[in-house]
């Protein structure tokens, strides 16, 4: 489904991604973890073209991303993204947030878009909040709307960039539950997250990144029980201490 | 631009002299009014933050009056209406003031008080942006109210509002042009006179436009230097950090 | 000094005519100014260096010179400009109204441009990314997501600038136009009733502007996106 082949990227003189390669199969749930500044966010944003790459190639379900490819509009329809800061549109209702891209990008009729939106909002448990504005919702509720908004375009892949990092602890679970449900239904997911519990129980594989490189890849259980690289061991020791 | 160096009809010099004369009046009016505005504006602004109800209301009346009537109408009031409303002898004395001063003094008072109303609002906003703990701390140290404002609150408030004050400073130079309606031969009036004498519209107004641009540039530079010189790291962007 | 009520009542229709012209200038200035100003703001934010430099230069120029000077510029030069464009070679007489409308749109646009630009800068940068991620075209993103938020964030300031515009219209006095102040002046000079006329005009302006600024204050309270 997704092939990342020797991707590199520089910001000025700082190399943020160094020859990263990975392969994600259809229906797989992959977690990318690592210390701050390791390039995790940048890597995941290259998959839907929000960040360009300087060298290498990415293939997403047949769509080719390379330094020379500039038109990525078509790609956005098959890849959905959820942001750390939710980024709901504050001037639109919850329902409108989920329908606007369907209407403007996929050219669905308003009726079809609303029907889909209601279905998705019910799925994430927010049917009663359809006419509210984002500011009236809690962080956890806003993030669930954001997930519904991304799902409304029927993507083949869902990307999550630290979806729970900006949430108060008591709201993290409601979002993780939605993500777990998605995984169980077979969605291909790539998640940058610090939630190791989620990674261990839901993810198929873990990609560990440090300093711009993908240092270790392993099945999730194996990664947590028996990390191979020194850097992964050090990272896990710091994270799992509490 | 050769216009500048041609002799004037009254043989008393060149057009350049007219421009310099106009420039002098503009600068004199602007800087004089600015001084009045700072003093009066600060007093009124402070008055609007005091617990004294009478001062608060008086301040509000002052600000609302001077902000909701156009500057030109206010000029007419000071020049035409006030002499009529005052006791006959004072009114006559005012009307008999010699030409430049007969226009300059009303313009000075008018522009000064007009700008003061705007500065008062900005000072009030700056004072209200300070953490309430500042007054408490000053009290605890034994400062009198006057001392508190002079030494603790106003220095901080002014740093916060420097950007808006800069805007006000640049505006006052533009507002001096309104005084031409009551007979002050400042820069814009000079442009009009040169045009009437030579019909070289483009040059006459062009030169004056350039002079205004230079004034704006210098005014901005001056305020910018002041801003940099008094900047406190914790007050950048107007928010005090603990 | 006595107040002559009969004269005041007589003057009223003419004053209303002047007020109407004032309102017309304000309306044209606001609509034209916001449209042109928004275009300038977008031009300033665009990637095209030439476009953004030109827009920035225009905005800075207009904001550095007095409105009275701009009024004179347009008043004296538009006839020449039209004559030149139509190949006439001689200045073409243009109505005072048109000159005034053009002046105010050109001038106020620079101020609205700054406000709209501030509006765009107040939008969280993630919004642009979210629009991108959903595949919204740049045009759609600006029309449906970015522009509405920008305007909403600065609506009170936009309205305050409109109140300033309303006051600025009085400056058309310098070309003897008949706005509210011009009408009052003409009556004052004809009837010798300076004091009453200028006081009335002051009161009329005050009432309009004070009411409008109170409205803006109320609006500011209600525009917050809502607190949980």
Cβ–Cβ contact C199 with B under 8 A: yes
The confidence score (pLDDT) of residue B176 equals: 95
Query: Rounded to 5 degrees, what are φ and ψ at A189?
Result: -130, 140
Q: What is the pLDDT of residue C25?
A: 95
Residue B99's pLDDT band (cuts 50, 70, 90): confident
Stretch C10-25: mean pLDDT, rounded? 89
pLDDT at position B192 over 70: yes
Structure tokens at C32: 């034209």
- Does A73 contact chain C (CB < 8 Å)? yes
Predicted confidence at residue C90, as pLDDT, reads: 62
The reply to whether ipTM tops 0.95 is no
Residue B128 has pLDDT above 70, yes or no: yes
Q: Which residue of C has its CA nearest to A139?
A: C228
- Cβ-Cβ contacts under 8 Å, C201 against chain B: 73
Is pLDDT larger for residue C8 or for residue B61? Answer: B61
d(CA A142, CA C225): 14
- Per-residue pLDDT band for A29 (boundaries 50, 70, 90) equals very high
| Cβ contact C172:C26 at 8 Å | no
**Angstrom distance (rounded) from CA B167 to CA B181:** 24
Three-class DSSP category at B142: coil
* Between C184 and B8, residue with greater pLDDT: C184
Q: Which tens digit of pLDDT belongs to each residue from C87-121?
A: 766 666 667 788 899 999 999 999 999 999 999 98
C-beta atoms of A87 and C152 within 8 A: no
- Domains in chain B, number: 1
> Regarding predicted confidence, which is higher, C80 or A161?
A161
Q: How many CB pairs under 8 A join B and C?
A: 99
CA dist B168 and B165 (Å) reads 5
Least confident of A114-128, A164-178, B3-17, B148-162: B3-17
Helix and strand tally (H, E) in chain A?
Answer: 9, 10
Q: Is C84 on the interface with B (CB under 8 A)?
A: no
Confidence band for B4, pLDDT divided at 50, 70 and 90: low
Tokens representing C99 are 């000159």
What's the rounded Cα separation, in Å, for the pair A115 and A112?
5
- Of the pLDDT bands very low, low, confident and very high (cuts 50, 70, 90), residue C70 is very high
Task: Please state, for a pLDDT cut of 90, what percent of chain C lies above it.
Answer: 51
Q: Quick count: other Cβ atoms within 10 Å of Cβ A118?
A: 16
CATH number assigned to the domain comprising residue B190: 1.10.3720.10
Q: Are strands A55-60 and A63-65 parallel, antiparallel or unpaired?
A: antiparallel
Q: Which two structure tokens, joined as six digits, stand for C135?
A: 């595949």
Chains C and B in direct contact, meaning 3 or more beta-carbon pairs closer than 8 angstroms: yes
pLDDT in tens, B22-63: 999 999 999 999 999 999 999 999 999 888 888 889 999 999
Q: Which residue of A has its CA nearest to C140?
A: A104
Choose among A79, A101, A136: nearest Cβ to C226. Answer: A136
Q: Are A2 and A190 in contact (CB under 8 A)?
A: yes
Q: Give the pLDDT score at A95.
A: 94
Instruction: State both tokens at C42.
Output: 């977008």
- C67 CB neighbours in chain B (<8 A) are 174, 177
Higher local confidence (pLDDT), A68 or A242: A68
pLDDT band at B238 (very low <50, low <70, confident <90, very high): very low
The phi, psi pair for C211, rounded to 5°, reads -60, -45
Burial of A158 (0-12, 13-18, 19+ CB in 10 A): buried
What is the three-class DSSP state of A217? strand
The pLDDT of C64-82, averaged and rounded, is: 87
Rounded to an integer, what distance in angstroms lies between the CA atom of residue A215 and that of residue A38? 10
**Partner-chain contact B72 C206, CB within 8 Å:** no
Residue of A nearest to C135 (CA): A76
Interchain pair C167, B71: CB under 8 A:
yes
* DSSP-derived pairing of the beta strands A188-192 and A157-161: parallel
What backbone torsions phi and psi does residue C226 show, to the nearest 5 degrees? 100, 130
Q: Does B223 touch chain C (CB under 8 A)?
A: no
Is the predicted pLDDT of residue C227 greater than 50, yes or no? no
Alpha carbons B168 and B70: distance in angstroms, whole number: 16
pLDDT of residue B233: 67
Q: What is the band of A70 on the pLDDT scale with cuts at 50, 70, 90?
A: confident
Quickly count: other Cβ atoms within 10 Å of residue B146's Cβ. Answer: 9
Query: To the nearest whole number, what is the mean pLDDT of chain A?
Result: 89
Q: Is C152 on the interface with A (CB under 8 A)?
A: yes
The beta strand positions in C27-168, using DSSP E, are: none
- For residue A156, pLDDT over 70 is answered with yes
Residue A121 has pLDDT above 80, yes or no: yes
- Return the higher-pLDDT residue of C73 and B92: C73
Contacts of A105 (CB under 8 A, 6+ apart): A76, A77, A153, C134, C135, C136, C137, C140
Which H or E run includes C121? helix C96-121
Chains contacting chain C through 3 or more C-beta pairs under 8 A: A, B
Question: Which of B80, B191, B216 has the CB atom closest to C198's CB atom?
Answer: B80
A55 φ/ψ angles, rounded to the nearest 5 degrees:
-155, 160
| Rg, C-alpha atoms of chain C | 21
B141-153 average pLDDT score: 80
Tokens of A29: 């749930």
pLDDT of residue B103: 87
Mutation site for A-interface testing, chosen from C122, C133, C138 by largest number of A Cβ within 10 Å: C133
The number of beta carbons lying within 10 Å of the beta carbon of residue A111 is: 8
**Using CA atoms, how far apart are residues B86 and B93, in angstroms rounded to an integer?**
10
Predicted confidence at residue B241, as pLDDT, reads 37
Range of the domain at B24: 2-240
CA distance B153 to B145: 10
Residues of B in contact with C183 (CB under 8 A): none
Structural contact between residues B114 and B73, judged by C-beta atoms closer than 8 angstroms:
no
* Best residue of A74, A88, A100, A156 to probe chain C, by most C CBs closer than 10 Å: A100
What residues pair up with A205 in beta bridges, in sequence order? A30, A219
Query: What's the pTM?
Result: 0.81
Q: Do A136 and C228 touch (CB under 8 A)?
A: yes
B87 contacts: CB under 8 Å, gap ≥ 6: none
> For A117-129, what is the mean pLDDT?
93
Query: Residues of C with CB below 8 A from A162's CB?
Result: none
* B213 contacts in chain C (CB < 8 Å): 61, 64-65
Instruction: Tell me how far apart the alpha carbons of residues B211 and B173 are, in angstroms, rounded to a whole number.
Output: 11
Mean pLDDT value across chain B: 86
Question: In what order do the strands lie in the sheet containing A63-65?
Answer: A14-24, A2-11, A55-60, A63-65
Centroid of chain to Cα A78: 13
Candidates A77, A83, A136; nearest CB to C135 = A77
State both tokens at C190.
């004809």
pLDDT for the residue B8: 65
Chain A residue numbers with beta carbons less than 8 Å from the beta carbon of C129 are: 50, 83, 87
User: If you count residue pairs, one on A and one on C, with CB atoms under 8 Å apart, how many are there?
Assistant: 68
> How many angstroms separate the first and last alpha carbons of chain B?
57
Using DSSP, state whether C202 is helix, strand or coil: helix
Backbone angles phi, psi at C207, to 5 degrees: -60, -50
d(CA C50, CA C44): 10
With contact defined as 3+ CB pairs under 8 Å, the chains touching A are: C
CA distance C149 to chain B (A): 22
- For the residues C53-82, what does the mean pLDDT come to? 89
- Contact list in C for residue A88 (CB cut-off 8 A) is 130
Q: Is A81 on the interface with C (CB under 8 A)?
A: yes
Distance in angstroms (rounded) separating the CA atoms of residues C158 and C147: 14
Find the mean pLDDT for residues A106-132: 93
Chain C CB contacts of A77 under 8 Å are 135
**Nearest residue, CB atoms, B177 vs list C68, C199, C201:** C68
Q: How many CB atoms lie within 10 A of CB B190?
A: 24
pLDDT higher than 90, residue C127: yes
Beta carbons of C111 and C162 less than 8 angstroms apart: no
State chain C's mean pLDDT as an integer: 87
B3 pLDDT more than 70: no
Between C126, C135, C149, which is nearest A101 by CB? C135
Q: Round to whole Å and give the CA distance between B225 and B222.
A: 5
């Amino acid at each position: 489904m997704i092939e990342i082949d020797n991707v590199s990227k520089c910001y000025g003189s700082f190399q943020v991604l160094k020859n990263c390669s990975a392969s994600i199969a259809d229906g797989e749930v992959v977690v990318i973890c690592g210390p701050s500044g390791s390039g995790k966010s940048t890597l995941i944003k290259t998959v839907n073209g929000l960040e360009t790459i300087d060298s290498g190639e990415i293939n997403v379900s047949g769509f080719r991303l390379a330094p020379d490819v500039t038109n990525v509009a078509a790609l956005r329809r098959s890849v959905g993204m959820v942001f750390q800061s939710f980024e709901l549109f504050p001037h639109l209702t919850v329902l409108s947030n989920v329908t606007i891209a369907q209407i403007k990008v996929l050219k669905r009729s308003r009726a079809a878009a609303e029907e889909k939106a209601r279905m998705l909002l019910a799925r994430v448990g927010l049917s009663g909040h359809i006419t509210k504005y984002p500011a009236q919702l809690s962080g956890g509720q806003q993030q669930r709307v954001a997930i519904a908004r991304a799902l409304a375009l029927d993507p083949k892949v869902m990307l999550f960039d630290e979806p729970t990092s900006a949430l108060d602890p008591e709201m993290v679970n409601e979002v993780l539950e939605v993500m777990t449900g998605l995984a169980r239904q077979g969605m291909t997911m790539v998640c940058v997250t610090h939630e190791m519990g989620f990674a261990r129980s839901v993810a198929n594989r873990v990609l560990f990144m440090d300093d711009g490189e993908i240092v270790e890849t392993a099945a999730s259980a194996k990664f947590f029980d028996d990390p191979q690289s020194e850097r992964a061991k050090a990272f896990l020791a710091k994270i799992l201490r509490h | 631009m050769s216009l500048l160096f041609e002799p004037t009809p009254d043989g008393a010099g060149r057009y350049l002299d007219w421009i310099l004369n106009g420039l002098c009046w503009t600068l004199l009016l602007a800087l004089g009014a600015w001084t009045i505005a700072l003093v009066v504006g600060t007093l009124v602004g402070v008055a609007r933050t005091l617990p004294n109800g009478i001062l608060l209301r008086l301040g509000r009346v002052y600000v609302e009056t001077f902000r909701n009537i156009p500057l030109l109408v206010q000029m007419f009031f000071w020049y035409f209406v006030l002499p009529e409303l005052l006791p006959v002898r004072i009114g006559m004395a005012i009307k008999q003031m010699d030409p430049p001063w007969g226009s300059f003094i009303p313009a000075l008072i008018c522009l000064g008080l007009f700008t003061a109303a705007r500065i008062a609002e900005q000072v009030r906003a700056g004072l209200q942006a300070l953490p309430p703990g500042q007054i408490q701390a000053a009290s605890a140290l034994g400062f009198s109210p006057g001392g508190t404002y002079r030494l603790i609150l106003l220095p901080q408030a002014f740093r916060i509002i420097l950007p808006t004050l800069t805007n006000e400073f640049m505006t006052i130079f533009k507002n001096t042009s309104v005084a031409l309606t009551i007979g002050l031969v400042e820069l814009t009036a000079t442009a009009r006179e040169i045009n009437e004498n030579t019909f070289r519209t483009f040059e006459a107004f062009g030169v004056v436009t350039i002079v205004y641009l230079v004034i704006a540039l210098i005014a901005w530079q001056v305020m910018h230097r002041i801003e940099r010189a008094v900047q406190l790291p914790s007050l950048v962007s107007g928010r005090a950090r603990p | 000094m006595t107040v002559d009520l009969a004269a005041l009542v007589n003057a009223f229709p003419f004053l209303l005519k002047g007020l109407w012209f004032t309102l017309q200038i304000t309306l044209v200035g606001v609509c034209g100014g916001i449209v042109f100003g928004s275009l300038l703001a977008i031009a300033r934010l665009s990637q095209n260096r030439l476009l953004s430099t030109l827009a920035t230069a225009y905005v800075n120029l207009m904001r550095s010179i007095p409105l009275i000077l701009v009024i004179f510029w347009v008043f004296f030069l538009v006839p020449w400009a039209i004559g030149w464009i139509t190949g006439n070679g001689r200045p073409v007489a243009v109505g005072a109204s048109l000159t005034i409308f053009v002046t105010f749109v050109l001038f106020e646009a620079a101020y609205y441009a700054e406000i709209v630009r501030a509006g765009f800068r107040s939008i969280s940068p993630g919004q642009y990314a979210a629009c991108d991620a959903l595949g919204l075209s740049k045009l759609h993103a600006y029309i449906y997501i970015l522009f509405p938020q920008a305007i909403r964030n600065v609506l009170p300031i936009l309205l305050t600038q409109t109140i300033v515009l309303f006051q600025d219209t009085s400056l058309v006095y310098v070309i003897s136009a008949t706005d509210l102040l011009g009408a009052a002046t003409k009556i004052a000079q004809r009837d010798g009733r300076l004091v009453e006329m200028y006081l009335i005009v002051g009161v009329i302006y005050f009432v309009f502007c004070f009411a409008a600024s109170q409205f803006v204050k109320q609006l500011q309270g209600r525009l917050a996106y809502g607190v949980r």
